[in-house]
Structure 1
Amino acid sequence: MTENTALPTALAEIVDDFTAVPDPEKLELLLEFSDELPELPARYDGHEEEMEQVVECQSPLFLAVEIEGEPAGGQSVMRLFITAPPEAPTTRGFASVLSQGLDGLTAAEILGVPDDIPNRLGLAQALTPLRLRGMSAMLGRIKRNVRDLTAEG
Structure 2
Amino acid sequence: MPPKLAEIVDDFASAPREVVLEMLLEFADAVPPLPADLAGHEGMEQVPECQTAFFLKAVVRPDGTVVTHFDCPPEAPTTRAFAGILAEGLAGATAAEVVAVPDDLYARMGLAQAISPLRVRGGTAILARLKRQVASFKAE
- Three-state SS of the structure 2 residue aligned to 1:25 is helix
Q: TM-score, normalised by structure 1?
A: 0.86
Deviations 1:1-49 (A, max 9, x none): xxxxxx21110111122123211221121111100111111211x2213
Counterpart of 1:57?
A: 50
RMSD between aligned alpha carbons? Answer: 1.2
Counterpart of 1:9?
A: 3
Following the alignment from structure 1 to structure 2, what is the Cα–Cα distance between the partners of residues 59 and 104? Answer: 28
Counterpart of 2:59?
A: 66
Return the offset for 1:78.
Answer: 1.2
Following the alignment from structure 2 to structure 1, what is the Cα–Cα distance between the partners of residues 133 and 83? Answer: 15
- Three-state SS of the structure 1 residue aligned to 2:86 is helix
Question: What amino acid sits opposite 1:12 in the alignment?
Answer: A
Following the alignment from structure 2 to structure 1, what is the Cα–Cα distance between the partners of residues 75 and 13? Answer: 26
Aligned-residue identity in percent: 51
Question: Structure 2 unaligned runs (5+)?
Answer: none
Question: Structure 1 unaligned runs (5+)?
Answer: 1-6, 71-75
Counterpart of 2:74?
A: 86
> In the comparison of the two structures, how many residue pairs are matched?
140
Following the alignment from structure 2 to structure 1, what is the Cα–Cα distance between the partners of residues 48 and 116? Answer: 17
Following the alignment from structure 1 to structure 2, what is the Cα–Cα distance between the partners of residues 21 and 133? Answer: 21
Return the offset for 1:126.
Answer: 1.2
- Where does structure 1 differ by over 4 angstroms across 4 or more consecutive aligned residues? none
Deviations 1:44-88 (A, max 9, x none): 1x2213210011011111001112136xxxxx2111101111000
Following the alignment from structure 2 to structure 1, what is the Cα–Cα distance between the partners of residues 31 and 108? Answer: 20
Map 1:1-153 → 2, pairs under 5 A = 7-44=1-38, 46-69=39-62, 76-152=64-140
